[in-house]
Amino acid sequence: MTGGKPAGKGKDRGIAVLIYIILFAFIIVMIIPIFWGLLTSLKGTGEISRFPPTIFPDTLVITNYYKVLFLSNFGTYFKNSCIVTFLCVVISTVIAGHAAYAIARFHIKYKDRLMYAILMTSMVPAVALLIPLYIMSVKAGIYNTRLMLILVYTAWRTPMLTWILKGFFDSVPQAIEEAAMIDGCSRLRTFYTIVLPMSQPGIVSSALLTAVYVWNDFLVSFTFVTKEELRTVSVGLYSYITQYGVQWGELLSAVMITIIPIIILFVCLQRKFVDGMAAGAVKG
């Protein structure tokens, strides 16, 4: 038996090394386009058009970033995306959090059917809803407003967040809540002071997933907003694709700036995000 242990350890080590090699290769494949875009954004127009293309710029040029930040409407697009994304994350997380807790703790008739009904609302293709939503927004007088974007994104993300958060609330021991209520805490105060802090990984994971979805979405923003001053970054990027050609330097500079907020969010919240995803995997 003692002779079998080193062989087993060696096999486990070999599997671990193989997994790390695969993950490293996957990371390289994912980073190459971003790295190439960053290098291209630092090239001049002549060098970008050169054939064969160069990997590293002969001379670092920041003109493209200057044009994007100071000579275009990109700042307006960026501000609109920040406003819409922040409000959608807050509103959808608040609504989904309360709904998920109510479903997890209260005795509701046909609870399982209710949960499946909530999930089914997220399965309807977005394209199928665009025309009805367009007609409703025009009649309600909220077409071409940030309010319309916020309402649509919130409505689409809340059902999925409710499912995710319910799983985390189910994992919180009810005995802790019962003890708090015996000490005089109301159900609502128990939810805010005990359940939410214990469910932080799930809440952070849900908020990040919502932020990425809203920040990157093009279809809804393109459909319900046509005013230049209300466009988001996902739509604003297409302004660098003109009938005379693609302004590659400015386009890639704008793309590099666009991905910075999401990267910052993941870097700052990566620990809780990973904990939330791991906990969700265990529950599954």
pLDDT of residue 10: 66
Name the pLDDT band for 277 (thresholds 50, 70, 90).
low
Helix ranges, 172-218 (H): 174-182, 187-190, 196-198, 200-216
Token couple for 200: 């932080």
How far apart CA 197 and CA 97 sit, in angstroms, is 12
Taking CA atoms, 167 is separated from 101, 179, 193, 199, 283, in Å, by: 10, 21, 19, 10, 7
Please say if the pLDDT value at position 251 is more than 50.
yes
Q: What's the pLDDT score for residue 284?
A: 42
Q: What is the pLDDT of residues 24-68, one digit of tens each?
A: 999 899 899 999 999 999 988 888 888 888 888 888 889 999 999
The better pLDDT of the pair 116, 282 is held by 116
CB 266 within 8 A of CB 273: yes
pLDDT of residue 275: 62
DSSP-derived secondary structure letter, 54: P
* pLDDT above 60 for 276: no
pLDDT in tens, 166-225: 888 888 888 888 888 888 888 888 888 888 888 888 888 888 989 999 999 999 999 999
pTM summary value = 0.85
Looking at residue 49, its pLDDT comes to 85
Phi, psi of 241 (to 5 degrees): -105, 100
> Looking at this protein, which amino acid is placed at residue 225?
V
Q: Say which amino acid occupies 241.
A: I
Q: What is the pLDDT of residues 99-113, one digit of tens each?
A: 999 988 888 888 888
Q: What is the pLDDT of residue 15?
A: 87
In whole angstroms, what is the distance from residue 36 CA to residue 40 CA?
Answer: 6
Encode 41-60: b = buried (16+ Cβ within 10 Å), e = exposed. Answer: bbbbeebbeeeeeeeeeeee
Select from 245, 103, 70, 92 the least CA-distant residue to 156: 92
For residue range 6-21, list pLDDT tens digits in order: 556 667 788 888 999 9
Rounded to an integer, the average pLDDT of 260-274 is 80
pLDDT digits (tens, 9 = 90+) for 239-248: 888 878 888 9
Q: How confident is the model at residue 282 (pLDDT cuts 50, 70, 90)?
A: very low
**What tokens does 274 get?**
């990973």
Q: What percent of the chain has pLDDT over 70?
A: 92
